[in-house]
Amino acid sequence: MACSVFAINVGAGALCIIFAIPDFIGWILPYFCSSKIYAAKSEKITSLIDNKYDEIYEVSKRVNVRLMETKGIIVVVVSTGVTQKNQSLEI
C-alpha cells in the first residue's frame, strides 16, 4: 500500500494501480478465509458438544435407573442432558 501511495505522489498513476491491486486482494481475501475457517471450526466444536450432551444423557439415564432401584427417587432427564430432581416417590 505504501508503494502505491508513493507512486501517486511521484506522478506514476499506472504504477500506483499495479501496486494497489495486491493490497486490495490482501484486504479482501482474509475476510473470506476467516469466514471459511470459522465455519469449519464451528462445525467441529458443535459436533463435539453434541457428543458430550449425548454422553451426559446416557449417564443420566443410568443414574435414573440406579436411583429408582435403590432409593425410589425419580430423576427427570431433559433432552439437553441436564437432570432435574423430581418429587421423591416411594415404590
Instruction: For the chain, give every domain's residue range.
Output: 2-88
pLDDT digits (tens, 9 = 90+) for 40-58: 999 999 999 999 999 999 9
Strand ranges (E), the chain = 73-77, 83-88
Q: Is the pTM of this model over 0.85?
A: no
Asked if 57 contacts 77 with a C-beta cutoff of 8 angstroms, the reply is: yes
At 82, phi and psi to the nearest 5?
-90, 135
pLDDT value at position 3?
A: 67
pLDDT digits (tens, 9 = 90+) for 5-42: 666 666 776 777 777 778 788 888 888 889 899 999 99
Asked if 68 contacts 89 with a C-beta cutoff of 8 angstroms, the reply is: no
Asked if 72 contacts 89 with a C-beta cutoff of 8 angstroms, the reply is: yes
